[in-house]
Structure 1
Amino acid sequence: MDRLSAMATFVRAVDTGSLSAAARSLPSSLTSVSRQISALEEHFGTRLLLRTTRQLALTDDGRVLYERAKAILGEVKEIEAALSRDRHQPSGRIRVSSPSLMGRLVIAPLLAEFLRRHPALSVDLLLVDRAVDMVEEDIHLAIRVGRLRDSQLVARKLADLRMIVCASPAYVAARGVPATPGDLAHHDCLVFSDAPGSAEWRFADDGKTGRKIRISGRLWMNSLEALAAAAKEGAGIVRVPSWQAEADLAAGRLVRLLTGYEPAPTPLHLIFQPSRLASPKIRAFTDYLVERWRGIDPFTARPPANE
């Protein structure tokens, strides 16, 4: 059995919804399609498909094989493209994931120039505030905030992300300025989280970054953009990326607080699977993003020198 060919047939059968439809699209005979899938089931020692008169249904093992096989077949195409004669001409579609706010305000404006440079490329930008499963969700590149766990993924550092605490001048005038992170317990804090409840804000302590303060805010949202808008209206103290607040700080709509306790910046990476390292389109997008990111100053914004 040609295992790669059998997996391709299996994926086609699932995508088309029936063995006969897979046979027509390949093209191949219905007998050949059925034989290849049966051979896969025998090889793995498990049932992959539940066949009915109208449709196919994946078993749990079948779903695992489908997701992995689809990723493997995609990687094979990447290798073929990298070794082809026109490997210096990137083509195809790139699937990229990014945190929502960063994707809208930073990544999306950079894509027009990238597409002009590479007319044979297309981009799918997925905006999600969670860590995606790059294999199961067929993501080629992901922008990841924070220190990376040990993994087999390849990472290119883009910038350092600095989190800052700020509030509106009206709030500060009414409630005062917190002198230390501990004073936040006596203030109205605006909490960003995937689920309502308390959160932890990290601060520097004697030059270290290990001090965490538990925050129980009166207002919770799962959108940093909405929280920043509420902060500008005087709802309370918010913790946001420095690049997001730069314009509001410059215009005086927000005031930067607790600058002496700001922790070290968090790294921002672009990650992808090692198997895609040779892919022309992955190299093109990675190099472009690293090049353009160098000009985005707010990502390295430091506390004011006089504070």
Structure 2
Amino acid sequence: MGRFEAMAVFVKVAEAGSLSAAGRELGLSLTSVSRQLAALEEQLGTRLVLRTTRRLALTEAGRLYHEQARHILGEVAEAEQALTAPESAPTGRLHVSAPTLIGRLKLAPLLPEFLARHPGLAIDLTLTDRPVDLVEDGIDLAIRIGRLPDSSLVMRRLGGIRMRICAAPDYLAHCGEPAVPEDLAGHDCVVFATVPGPISWPFQTAAGRVMVPVTARLRANDLDAAVAAALAGAGLVRAPSWQVADLVAAGRLVPVLAAYERPSAPVQALFLPSRLLSPKIRLFADFLAERWAGRDFGHEAEEGSA
């Protein structure tokens, strides 16, 4: 019995919910499916499936192995497709992860166009502001913002985001406008953060990049909520300039410390080195690079082109 064949049988059993249903889909007898599953469990030295007379359930090891096996089988199929039929239209499901705000406002509106171009593909989009593990979470391509530490992941720059610090006019009238980053020590700040702990905001000075601690009177794990609080006068907020561009143009928010803004943070596509040959990932990364064209979203928004 080949390991990949047994792995495919197990994945089908897990997804079909029974040995007999898996056998029908695979064109195998119930005895053959049962034998291959038992042999796989023996090779792995652990039980993958709990079988009773009425139902089938995966063990904890089975759930973990199912996710990994499904990912591996998908990679093998795509590698074979890339080598044997490089000109054929790709098919399958693409699992994409992105930060919530840029995913909702900048990525999701592009997906109908991509799907129309490639009718054989489907997309599962996960929007989250927590770091994802591409292997454990089954993600084919993740969009990340900011400079990342060295890793084994393949990174492709797609664009940039410029951050801006703003406050409501009433707040500035009452508390004054900071002239230099160090003035933030005397101000209330509305902070976007997904984990607890001290917060510092980065600035660009003549001496280079500096990190300035801020007082987080209000902390939110959603940027829309943070901007809404700043609009109501809760304090200074640091947000993507394209998110606050309309509010600034309407005079509802006032930018401060513009002379100390950092250069654009890169927006990057990340994927595993083993996915370099995947046609669907390559097509999607090319599509985003084409549509975003290395733009600085901050400048784009300020110019009214998005």
* Larger CA deviation: 91-100 vs 194-203: 194-203
Identity of aligned residues (%): 55
Alignment of 1:118-133 (within 5 A): 118-133=118-133
Give 1:108 shift: 1.6
User: Is the CA contact (8 Å cut-off) linking 1:159 and 1:299 kept in structure 2?
Assistant: no
Name the structure 1 match of 2:63.
63
Question: Aligned pair in 2 of structure 1 residues 200, 56: CA closer, same or farther (>3 Å)?
Answer: farther
User: Is the CA contact (8 Å cut-off) linking 1:71 and 1:136 kept in structure 2?
Assistant: no
Partner Cα distance (2:35, 2:149) in 1: 42
For 1:217, what is the secondary structure of its paired residue? Answer: strand
- 2:202 is the counterpart of 1:193: no
Name the structure 2 match of 1:167.
167
Question: Aligned pair in 2 of structure 1 residues 300, 87: CA closer, same or farther (>3 Å)?
Answer: same
Name the structure 2 match of 1:111.
111
Name the structure 2 match of 1:9.
9
Question: Aligned pair in 2 of structure 1 residues 196, 85: CA closer, same or farther (>3 Å)?
Answer: closer
Partner Cα distance (1:297, 1:195) in 2: 27
Counterpart code for 1:245: V
User: Is the CA contact (8 Å cut-off) linking 1:242 and 1:301 kept in structure 2?
Assistant: no
Question: Aligned pair in 2 of structure 1 residues 302, 8: CA closer, same or farther (>3 Å)?
Answer: closer
Alignment of 1:260-271 (within 5 A): 260-271=259-270
Counterpart code for 1:222: N
What runs of 5+ residues in structure 2 fail to find an aligned partner? none
Give 1:235 shift: 2.3
User: Is the CA contact (8 Å cut-off) linking 1:160 and 1:268 kept in structure 2?
Assistant: yes
Name the structure 1 match of 2:48.
48
Question: Aligned pair in 2 of structure 1 residues 157, 297: CA closer, same or farther (>3 Å)?
Answer: closer
For 1:82, what is the secondary structure of its paired residue? Answer: helix
Partner Cα distance (2:118, 2:222) in 1: 33
User: Is the CA contact (8 Å cut-off) linking 2:163 and 2:264 kept in structure 1?
Assistant: yes
For 2:238, what is the secondary structure of its paired residue? Answer: strand
Alignment of 1:206-225 (within 5 A): 206-209=206-209, 211-225=210-224
For 2:166, what is the secondary structure of its paired residue? Answer: strand
Alignment of 1:1-307 (within 5 A): 1-85=1-85, 87-195=87-195, 198-209=198-209, 211-294=210-293, 296-299=295-298
Partner Cα distance (1:62, 1:295) in 2: 42
Partner Cα distance (1:261, 1:177) in 2: 14
Partner Cα distance (1:26, 1:116) in 2: 31
Give 1:79 shift: 1.7
Give 1:169 shift: 2.2
Partner Cα distance (2:110, 2:207) in 1: 36
Counterpart code for 1:136: E
Question: Aligned pair in 2 of structure 1 residues 297, 133: CA closer, same or farther (>3 Å)?
Answer: closer
Question: Aligned pair in 2 of structure 1 residues 112, 60: CA closer, same or farther (>3 Å)?
Answer: closer
Partner Cα distance (2:15, 2:231) in 1: 49
Partner Cα distance (1:59, 1:214) in 2: 47
User: Is the CA contact (8 Å cut-off) linking 1:161 and 1:299 kept in structure 2?
Assistant: yes
User: Is the CA contact (8 Å cut-off) linking 1:197 and 1:220 kept in structure 2?
Assistant: no
Give 1:167 shift: 1.0
* Larger CA deviation: 153-162 vs 15-24: 15-24
Partner Cα distance (2:250, 2:146) in 1: 29
Give 1:224 shift: 0.5
Query: 1:123-175 deviations in whole A, cap 9, x for unaligned?
Result: 22221112222223322211011222333322110123222211122221221
For 2:107, what is the secondary structure of its paired residue? Answer: helix
Partner Cα distance (2:86, 2:159) in 1: 32
- Using the size of structure 2 for normalisation, the TM-score is 0.88
* Larger CA deviation: 145-154 vs 72-81: 145-154
RMSD: 2.5
Query: 1:176-219 deviations in whole A, cap 9, x for unaligned?
Result: 1112223222212112122566522222354322x333333222
User: Is the CA contact (8 Å cut-off) linking 1:93 and 1:124 kept in structure 2?
Assistant: yes
Counterpart code for 2:63: R
For 1:135, what is the secondary structure of its paired residue? Answer: coil
Question: Aligned pair in 2 of structure 1 residues 156, 88: CA closer, same or farther (>3 Å)?
Answer: farther
User: Is the CA contact (8 Å cut-off) linking 1:49 and 1:56 kept in structure 2?
Assistant: yes
Give 1:69 shift: 0.7
Give 1:301 shift: 7.3
Query: 1:45-75 deviations in whole A, cap 9, x for unaligned?
Result: 2332333333333334333322211110111
Partner Cα distance (2:156, 2:173) in 1: 43
